[in-house]
Amino acid sequence: MSIWAIGDLQGCYDATQRLLEKIAFDPARDRLWFCGDLVNRGGQSLETLRLVHSLREHSVVVLGNHDLSLLAIGQRSEEERRKVNPDLQRIVLADDRDTLLEWLRMQKLCHVDRQLGWMMVHAGLAPKWTVSMAERHAREVEQKLHGDQYGRLLKAMYGDGPAWNPRLAGTDRLRAIINVMTRLRYCTPRGRISFEEKGVPGTQPAGLYPWYEVPGRAERDLKIVCGHWSTLGLFIGYGVHAIDTGAVWGGRLTALQLDCEDLRVVQVPGRDQPASPPKPRHKPRSRNGYRR
């Protein structure tokens, strides 16, 4: 049995199939962890979502910002759904849209496996969040998302504020949790997110830190695997394993084996034609040994 975490698919069906073949994925014995952003921009989002849905008994999925946006679009009228980009439009107008979106809505914001020693989240954690705190906050959102009033949450989740504060309540609290777990890259030591900054570390203004490097951050008792930050590329350090390597931008799609002592990284070429000019990346950095 092998357990593999896979970075952002973003509708790159062909690359996903290549990666599953390269890791010799066998659903009879193996398990997959998908780091979110299954859809959007890759041109094959419907096929990708159907594939991951077909693997639901053998995988764990956390929601990314693009997945949540798809769920929100699915709540709109048919006329409004026809105005979204063609990649997502194929999903929300498909015959099996209800099956796919209902399954997607029931996925998690974070996944914790203490026996394995890993936690998965799409983007990151607020500076003061321990793993247990993050898990509790994720359950707050999931309770609403999985309940009968999920439409209200999907309509109210958009917006950059407020910054996370444990005293927040209601919609503001849920939005802040979603922003941290699905949109975070850089933040201040007090946890205020800079949504505009998306470049490689070292390009951000003074006072901003990659979320995993913030001074005074909480100690976390599990290793973390995440995606979301394509310009960061493959990064392993501070107990964090970031594996969004820009498949949709013409980069690579990455799988990380979680159940072996020496971390094993497997990559395949991403989307054949970039959705837009690739963003600058730096070379992968590692503070632990791994095999490609």
pLDDT tens by residue, 17-35: 999 999 999 999 999 999 9
pLDDT at residue 280 tops 50: no
Confidence band, pLDDT 50/70/90 cuts, at residue 205: very high
The model's pTM is 0.93
Handedness of CA 78, 84, 86, 91 (dihedral sign): negative
Confidence (pLDDT) at 273: 63
145: enclosing H helix or E strand: helix 131-145
pLDDT at residue 287 tops 90: no
Confidence band, pLDDT 50/70/90 cuts, at residue 281: very low
Sketch out the chain's domains with CATH numbers.
Answer: 3-291 (3.60.21.10)
Would strands 3-6 and 252-257 be described as parallel, antiparallel, or unpaired? antiparallel
- Give the N- to C-terminal CA distance of the chain in Å, as an integer: 19
Dist. CA 41–CA 186, nearest whole Å: 23
Written as six digits, the tokens of 140 are 């707050």
Residue with tokens 């203490």: 114
pLDDT tens by residue, 149-158: 999 999 999 9
Dist. CA 226–CA 133, nearest whole Å: 17
Confidence (pLDDT) at 272: 81
Mean pLDDT, the chain, whole residue set: 93
Residue with tokens 């971390």: 263
Confidence (pLDDT) at 277: 46
Q: Rounded to 5, what percent of the chain is helix, strand, coil?
A: 35, 20, 50
Classified as helix, coil or strand, 119 is: strand
Asked if 77 and 162 touch (Cβ cutoff 8 Å), the reply is no
Q: What is the mean pLDDT of residues 105-123?
A: 98
pLDDT tens by residue, 221-259: 999 999 999 999 999 999 999 999 999 999 999 999 999
Burial (CB count <10 Å: 0-12, 13-18, 19+), residue 282: middle
Dist. CA 161–CA 174, nearest whole Å: 11
Least confident of 21-25, 168-172, 260-264, 277-281: 277-281
Handedness of CA 77, 94, 138, 194 (dihedral sign): negative
Classified as helix, coil or strand, 164 is: coil
Asked if 110 and 120 touch (Cβ cutoff 8 Å), the reply is yes
